[in-house]
Amino acid sequence: MRIPKQYGYSHVDRCPFCSMQATTKNNQGIPVCSKHKNASLQDMRCLCGELLELKEGKFGIYFRCERCGNVNAKRVFETNNIKNDVEDISREAPKTSKRAEITTTSDDPLYFD
């Protein structure tokens, strides 16, 4: 059975710092989330040791190496350590008080109100 494509779900950019959905671009042109809008990537290195040049194409960002050629951004982010400069705020669930159980019967005068 063939599942048709849904509009808008074909390509979702991810933030390289936290893997959330990217909504904006930083000053380097990298798609990032709103928390990391002011963050920037340090110099990225290829597996061969050369510095990588950031490029943007039809299908998103990628990197260019002098020796290896074009390198996928996902592979570069896996090999290089990306430092998250923004402090993560832990989300705690709001504490709820224990609720009292109320039993209502049909003989109760408040049942039919």
pLDDT (tens digit, 9 = 90+) per residue, 37-82? 998 888 899 999 899 999 988 888 899 999 999 999 889 988 888 7
Q: How far apart are CA 47 and CA 104, in angstroms?
A: 70
For residues 22 and 13, the answer to whether their CB atoms sit within 8 Å is yes
**By mean pLDDT, which of 12-16, 34-38, 62-66, 100-104 is the weakest?**
100-104
User: How open is the CA angle 103-106-112, to the nearest 5 degrees?
Assistant: 100
CA dist list (Å): 94 to 2, 17, 87, 101: 43, 27, 21, 21
Q: Which residues pair with 45 in a beta bridge?
A: 51
Q: What is the pTM of this model?
A: 0.61
- With H, G, I as helix, E, B as strand and everything else as coil, classify residue 74: helix
Whole-number pLDDT of residue 70:
94
Q: Where are the domains of the chain?
A: 12-40, 42-82
Residue 86: pLDDT over 70 = no
**pLDDT class for 90, splitting at 50, 70, 90?**
very low
